[in-house]
Amino acid sequence: MKNLKIPVIALILAGGRVDELSVLTFFRPKAAVPFGGLYRVIDFPVSNLMYSGIFMVGVLSQYRPYSLMNHLDYGLPWDMTGRRRGLYILPPFKGREASDWYKGTADAVYQNLEFIRRWTPEVVLILSGDHIYHMDYRPFLEFHRENRADLTIAFTPVAKEEAARFGQGVIEEKSFLGGPLKDYREKVSPPVSSYASLTIYAFRPEVLEEVLMTHVKEEAYEFGRDIIPRMIGSYRLFGFIFRGYWGYTRTLEEYWQSHMDLLGPNPRIDLKKWHICTNLAHRGIRDRKPTVFAQGARICDSLFYNGSYIAGEVVRSVLSPGVKVEEGAMVKDSILLYDTVVKRGAKLERTITDTEVIVGEGAKIGGEEGLTVIGRCTEIPPGISLAGGVTVYPHLKKEAFDSEYYPSGAIIS
């Protein structure tokens, strides 16, 4: 069969979990973590691709892929089905010449070179699946083509003191959009630049295959750490500067802060303007009844969705569908995922609950010491007190709690 020619194909790196997100990634990859009440983190890059007219997508998935596969549903919610479009889950595999687990971002792409060859693209667009941002990739791709680049990387300006956490690009700024990439270092301190890599790469396919075939066999498994530094000076590399909002969400604090950026009179993340698309069939979102507000309910600067019941007070918080806040309960500066129940008189502050958590009557959870995070399907006993910065493991029953108070830093497992 003759290969179909697709101008741009995209590969989304969505295989991993990060320890910094604690219990939220015990059963799902980071890309599948719920965000903003209604969405998943991966909805952002997939929606960006849809609005950029890129409909041939491979998702490189490895760690606990079921929730991600279930949510993406072959790309149907993003209209990625058809003869010249599709969203494919690409897990690691064992074959005559292939290795088994993905050893890094570059190795993941290396193991799927056959997928790329099938479509004979002009450009291979490689994206991280776990960032919160709104970007039309077309100007980025046009910049790549105009400069006849072998590789173009998107960067965003960050505070100098934060730069050491990211890959850093030294860009010769020929224009507002960027210019030649003179140097690249992965997470070095002191930083060589305040431009942080967004893990958005546009490769010329021949160059991508050449560098992967050359370097992956030398155990160079990561693009940022291994491949890109070796390309400096030998290929045409360019840096594109993205100046919009970018939510990294690698840590619980960043995940929480990105949610707070959804709120306020002028939110930094404007979901109405971004038009993020999601799978409304996942977790039965579209079939839930409207939210019910009991008499006396008070809601201030918060997001909530269908299927919820609110009788208490909700302040500066984000509630997923099916959340229940009973009379006399208060939720402040918190993120409650699907079907969490906050019983009568309970108080939550700076708390993140995973799905189907039950917080008992009169419990006091969280505080200013740090973020408290509670794993899925856990039941918090009535009257208990958890300080800010406590971590509670999933699937715990009331009997697992042997104290009435847990200080900051405690881990309940």
C-alpha–C-alpha distance, residues 242 and 232, integer Å = 21
Looking at residue 248, its pLDDT comes to 87
Nearest Cα to Cα of residue 241 among 296, 281, 280, 197: 197
Closest CA to 18 of 179, 328, 254: 254
Q: How many other CB atoms are there within 10 angstroms of residue 147's CB atom?
A: 18
Domains and CATH numbers, the chain: 8-260 (3.90.550.10), 288-412 (2.160.10.10)
CA 137, CA 160: separation in Å to the nearest integer? 26
Tokens of 379: 């039941």
Q: Are strands 246-247 and 132-133 parallel, antiparallel or unpaired?
A: antiparallel
pLDDT of residue 3: 61
> Between the CA of residue 44 and those of 32, 157, 391, what are the distances in Å?
11, 20, 28
413 residues of the chain, pLDDT tens digit each? 456 689 999 999 997 767 889 999 999 999 999 999 999 999 999 999 999 999 999 999 887 888 889 999 999 999 999 888 999 999 876 554 555 678 889 999 999 999 999 999 999 999 999 899 999 999 999 999 999 999 999 999 999 899 999 999 999 999 999 999 999 999 999 999 999 999 999 999 999 999 999 988 778 889 999 999 999 999 999 999 999 999 988 899 999 999 999 999 999 999 889 999 999 988 888 899 999 999 999 999 999 999 999 999 999 999 999 999 999 999 999 999 999 999 999 999 999 999 999 999 999 999 999 999 999 999 999 999 999 999 999 999 999 999 999 999 999 99
Instruction: Tell me the C-alpha distance between 377 and 358, whole Å.
Output: 7
- 156, 169 contact by CB (below 8 A): no
Q: What does the pLDDT read at residue 284?
A: 80
Beta strand 309-310 with 292-293 is: parallel
Distance between CA 105 and CA 224 in Å, rounded?
A: 9
